[in-house]
Structures are given as C-alpha cells and as structure tokens.
A and B are shown apart, each in its own frame.
Chain A
C-alpha cells in the first residue's frame, strides 16, 4: 500500500502583487493622452475705438489680400500660396520691422485663410531657426527656454489683421 506523503502547504508569495498593481497604474497613467489643443496662435489688435490709431510707415507694411476666389495678392502682386513663405522671408530679411497685414474678403474660405496664415508662420519659424543657428549654433527647439524667448524677442511675429470694412 502507498502511503501519501504529507506535504508542506504551498504558498504563492503575494507581497509583490502590490508592485504589479502599481506598475499597471503607472502604465495607464503614462499611456493615457488627452487630446491636446493645437492650432495657430494670434493676438488680435485691440478694438479700434479704444486705442488711438498708430501710424505706421507704409514701407513697413506688407499687405496681403485674399479675395473671394482664394487668390492672394501681396503688395498688389498676384502670388500663389506656396510662394508666400519664401517671398515673406526675403521681405522680412530686407526689412526686419515689416508688419504683415492680412485682409480677406467675407466670401474667402476659412481653409484658404488658414493656409495663408500657416505659410506666414512657417516663414517666421524659418527665420527663427536661422537666427538661432547663427547665434547659438543650435536648432530652435534645442535651445533653453530663455534662449527661445530671446530669439522670439529678436524676431517677433508681426502679423496684423486689417480692419474689415463696415458691412452695410
């Protein structure tokens, strides 16, 4: 006859279960993303009645008109949207005080306006990148916060939204 051997009661060590739970918690904490808001930032000019009109020399303004058909006029010359970036870049290099004034028709499509604004932002980003490479020898995104602020101060974004005409 066989005799059953008496065994010691087996036990799974459960002390590290807590660590596993923590691990899980940390994983989900890290993996969860909230949809971040992205977009093109801009500062509107103050209301016309509240502030006195500041006179700006005509030579310091680049007028960008977008008509209802989506055609772009830069200082009276017709250009295509992908050309804006380079043209504006050259203009700002020649005149760092340049203010870009955007004016659109009421019938212009919003997506075209965003395209134009995007081109302008890209032009400014290029200029900032060039400046930071020149002065710090590093790409803009690798600079410290203070240095980035300095570059931003050196090349400020001067985009202005032209006063729309009164609608009757």
Chain B
C-alpha cells in the first residue's frame, strides 16, 4: 500500500512580519525595568574648571557631597549638618570600603567649609576624594 504525502506542495513559512514588534517589546521592557539612580539636587552650585581632570572609572563606588553657594551641604537627597557627615560617611564606608567621595562644591565657596568637610571625612576614614570639576578648554 502506498501512502500519499499530503503536504509538501507549498513551502511552509513562519510569518516574520511581527518580529519587529517583538523586538520593540524587548526595548520597551528594558527601558521600563532599567532604573538609573538620579539624585534630586537641592543646592545650587557651579563647578570649578580644571585642565588635568580624570574620569572616575567606577561609578558604583562614588558617593556625592554637594555644597551649594549658600553653604548648605547635601548628601544623598538630604540636606545635612556638618557634624552629621562623620556618621553618614562612616556608614557608607562600612558598606563599601573603597568609597570615593565626589565633592561637588560651588566654585565661589570658601576653603573653610571644604576644610571642615575634609576633616570630617578623615574622621570617618573616607579618604579617597575627588574634587568634581569641569574640563577647562
């Protein structure tokens, strides 16, 4: 007895028209699930400029301290007092021993506040710092 093949006359095809939709779905998924840490900066500052600046290669290590032109200090979304810095930075250093503290200080600040912050960072043993500056042209 002979069996007759029923199919084979037409080539079966996978419809590819909706592939881009699948990919867009992918893009959308990644766009929605990606979170970027963005700080809400509450102080006003303009960074100084420097020529010999370097990039911080590892952004995960960085923790920021902002100092506005009115002398207010912000760490992680909060305005803090000078004396709070030791505790906050000490905790950060325990979480992450290699923390780099990026100081974003307004260019018109006086060194007094910078020295005060540095002294507290030394107390908290957070010694790697970075004076945030823009590229001077």
Contact = CB atoms under 8 A, between A and B. Distances in A.
Interface of A: 14-15, 17-18, 20-22, 25, 34, 36-48, 50, 66, 104-111, 113-115, 117-118, 121-122, 125, 161, 164
Contacts of B16: 14-15, 17-18
A14 B14 CA distance: 12
Contact of B56 (A36, A110, A117, A125): A36
A38 B53 CA distance: 6
Given A44-B122, A117-B50, A110 B20 contact: no
Contacts, number: 142
A39 B107 CA distance: 13
Given A14-B17, A37-B59, A114-B131, A106 B50 contact: no
Is the interface on chain B under 10, 10 to 19, 20 to 34, or 35 or more residues?
35 or more
Nearest to B13: A15
The prevalent SS among residues of A at the interface is mixed
B101 to A, nearest CB: 9
A6 B121 CA distance: 83
